[in-house]
Amino acid sequence: MCGRYASSRRPEDLVEEFDIVESRIPDALEADYNVAPTKEVYAVVERPPSKESDEPPQRQLRVLTWGLVPSWAKDASIGNRLINARMETVAEKPAYKRAFATRRCLLPADGYFEWYPTRETTKAGKPRKQPFFVRPRDHGILAMAGLYEIWRDPAKADDAPDRFRWSCTVITTDAEDALGDIHERMPLMVDRERWGAWLDPRAQGAELLDLLEPAAPGRLEAYPVSALVSNVRNNGPELLEPLPLEHGPEETSS
């Protein structure tokens, strides 16, 4: 799964990186080095200018809540369980299939965290888990494949400005090569040349899955970081600083 990631880039940098036409960011988010479920995150989407317009969809930068709330949900709490969507079932599973059909997004990240069970044990007798940070080897941006939904809160008045909740989930797949030694799942990345096809809400069909594939060998690197990241209250660039590897996979890059 993907349960934590880092996102430190400014919205103006994301606008340039992703060729954003319209930024829908009322207030910039603080750099977050420990993004956890239920937090607000940046997302790149494509939306038609209006229901009546014949103009093509426009690429927008928005702030969404991590944890997808399907349009049919009775309350928003279901989003706490829907932080990841498995690639193998995303096109058919009721919680995701509507979003997969027309509401796909990119979630910009510096990289993501995974935890590897070491040979050491905790006081409870369980393996101590060593966190690793996984990022592009060139330190570029990571465009994670995601889905988003727009949920109408039935408890809000029709004119309430917050009556609609925009939420998202990260699509995951089997991890390959050395990254699979750290954790069996990993978020799917979308290559730059496929961003347009993935985001276009007019594109439909099983061929959309062909746009998604694990990062090619050599594209990502993984290294151990401080266990401070395990506590979501800790946040800062020091969480990304590498530690000497004492216990873990023999090879930590793919």
Task: Give the pairing type, strands 5-7 and 220-224.
Answer: unpaired
176 by Cβ neighbours in 10 Å (0-12 / 13-18 / 19+) ranks as middle
Report the 10 Å Cβ neighbour count for 106: 26
What are the C-alpha distances in Å from 151 to residues 32, 91, 168, 206? Answer: 25, 19, 11, 25
Q: Are 39 and 66 in contact (CB under 8 A)?
A: yes
Instruction: Point out the residues that are catalytic.
Output: 2, 114
What are the C-alpha distances in Å from 38 to residues 1, 128, 203, 221? Answer: 15, 26, 29, 27
Cα distance between the two ends of the chain = 18
Q: Are 58 and 22 in contact (CB under 8 A)?
A: yes
Q: Are 90 and 105 in contact (CB under 8 A)?
A: no
Q: Which tokens is 231 given?
A: 């506590």
Per-residue b or e along 134-162, where b marks 16 or more CB atoms closer than 10 Å to that residue's CB: bbbeeeebbbbbbbbbebeeeeeeeeeee
